[in-house]
């Protein structure tokens, strides 16, 4: 079964410096029908103006993944980590027992466009930690490249939950497939362009919950896609 979550139905918040769309309930947007999907709790699509951003604030007991689509995002946190996240990078921050961080557009000229993703951890109270990788464009062109996993395999970031996160860029007509093992479900999020998912047409910002299917087929149209493979 495939249940589409249209981009136009998402929650919205616009503060001038920030334009945000929420696939699931977040902040002032609350919809009891959309509180998350299995362990996936938040997918926010954020656009931040130059030199603007989120001042220092706290999190705990959450796996926070940042995926930049355009521009550059500067990150600083209370465990001494600082970095600039750019397209092709995947950052994972485990808030654990508590962490404070800030995120600002690293440019004073260009906006930054990114996805911030929250995954509920398997175990609460772990030590805060941080990890960032860079994935070459060719590594995810025309194929689903593992970028996050429970065990950090194949050079992916370690997510403290039974989830595998894949990223793909698909030119027009390019196709990628994924097999769901028994007891697994998936969430597909279209970050850019458009795809057909087993015959369902999806465009940028759309998401889709997938269950009781074995083979997922993604056919692209200049698309960038994230796929979460999770325990049901």
Q: Supply the pLDDT for residue 54.
A: 87
- The answer on pLDDT for 122 being more than 90 is yes
Q: For 154, list phi and psi in degrees, rounded to 5.
A: 55, 35
214 confidence band (pLDDT: 50, 70, 90): very high
Mean pLDDT rounded to a whole number for the chain: 96
Using the predicted structure, report yes or no on whether residue 61 has a pLDDT greater than 90.
yes
Give strand pairing partners of 84: 74
Give the pLDDT of residue 76. Answer: 85
Q: What are the tokens at 194? A: 């458009």
Token couple for 19: 């334009």
Please classify residue 136 by burial: count the beta carbons closer than 10 Å to its beta carbon, then call 0-12 exposed, 13-18 middle and 19+ buried: exposed
* DSSP single-letter state for residue 9: G
What does the pLDDT look like over 181-209, one tens digit per residue?
999 999 999 999 999 999 999 999 999 99
pTM of the predicted model as reported, rounded to 2 decimal places: 0.96
Terminal Cα-to-Cα distance of the chain (whole angstroms): 13
Nearest one of 88, 85, 81, 71 to 128, comparing CA atoms: 81
Residue 83 predicted with pLDDT over 90: no
Domains defined along the chain, listed by start: 10-134 (2.60.120.10), 137-231 (2.60.120.10)
Distance CA 1, CA 231 (A): 16
- For residues 75 and 105, give the distance between their C-alpha atoms in angstroms, rounded to a whole number: 9
CB neighbour burial string for 83-107, b if at least 16 within 10 angstroms, e if fewer: bebebbbbbbbbbbeebebebbbbb
- 77 pLDDT more than 90: no
Mean pLDDT, residues 152-169: 97
Mean pLDDT within 146-157: 97
Q: What pLDDT does 57 receive?
A: 84
Averaged over 92-119, what is the pLDDT? 94
Q: Is the pLDDT of residue 79 over 90?
A: no
Distance CA 44, CA 7 (A): 11
Of all residues in the chain, the percent with pLDDT exceeding 70 is: 100
> Has residue 140 got a pLDDT over 90?
yes
């Amino acid at each position: 079964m495939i249940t589409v979550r249209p981009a136009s139905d998402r929650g919205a918040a616009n503060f001038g410096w920030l334009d945000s769309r929420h696939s699931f309930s977040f902040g002032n947007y609350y919809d009891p029908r959309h509180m998350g999907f299995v362990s996936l709790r938040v997918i926010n699509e954020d656009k931040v103006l130059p030199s603007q951003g989120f001042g220092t604030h706290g999190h705990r007991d959450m796996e926070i993944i940042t995926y930049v689509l355009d521009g550059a995002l500067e990150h600083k946190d209370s465990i001494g980590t600082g970095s600039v996240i750019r397209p092709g990078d995947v950052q994972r921050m485990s808030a654990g027992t508590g962490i404070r961080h800030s995120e600002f557009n690293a440019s004073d000229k260009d906006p930054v466009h990114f996805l911030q993703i929250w995954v509920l951890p398997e175990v609460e109270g772990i030590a805060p930690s941080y990890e960032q990788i860079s994935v070459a464009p060719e590594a995810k062109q025309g194929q689903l490249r593992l970028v996050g996993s429970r065990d950090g395999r194949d050079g992916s970031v370690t997510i403290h939950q039974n989830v595998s996160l894949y990223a793909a860029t698909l030119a027009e007509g390019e196709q990628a497939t994924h097999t769901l093992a028994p007891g697994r479900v998936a969430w597909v999020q279209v970050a850019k362009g458009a795809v057909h998912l087993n015959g369902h047409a999806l465009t940028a910002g759309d998401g889709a919950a997938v269950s009781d299917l074995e083979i997922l087929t993604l056919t692209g149209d200049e698309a960038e896609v994230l796929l979460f493979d999770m325990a049901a």
